[in-house]
Amino acid sequence: AQSVTQLGSHVSVSEGALVLLRCNYSSSVPPYLFWYVQYPNQGLQLLLKYTSAATLVKGINGFEAEFKKSETSFHLTKPSAHMSDAAEYFCAVSGSHMNYGGSQGNLIFGKGTKLSVKP
């Protein structure tokens, strides 16, 4: 079974500071990993995803994440936080086992990390 653990339900940083949101995964097969962001009263928006092409993945809004197999981690970073980055961030792993004769595509999400940015 696959799972995702996000360390820290709340993270607070100052504007201009480094953002680091932690995600560890568990998977018996090569994982596909995602980071989504949810702004208040909105749906989820994809920030970036890892699909085994490159271990350092760049996403939108200046975010990036590095896949580290040895540490089973996929932490999200941004060098300099902006006020507009305040939101909830979700790490997810894609089911990749076979079901119904084809592979299953549902996402398994972590509990989320709420990012606050102080002026």
- Per-residue exposure over 1-26, b if at least 16 CB sit within 10 Å of its own CB, e if not: ebebebeeeebebeeeeebebbbbbe
Tell me the per-residue interface mask from 12 to 51 with another protein, x by CB under 8 A, - otherwise: --------------------x-x-x-----xxxxx--xxx
94 binds another protein (CB under 8 A): yes
Name residue 80's amino acid. Answer: S
Residue 41 or 119 with smaller CB distance to another protein: 41
Least distance in angstroms from the C-beta of 38 to another protein = 9
Instruction: Report CA torsion sign: 41, 42, 47, 50.
Output: positive
2 is a contact residue toward another protein (CB under 8 A): no
For another protein, give the closer residue by CB, 14 or 104.
104
> Can residue 111 be called a binding residue for another protein (CB under 8 A)?
yes
Supply 102's token pair: 């084809």
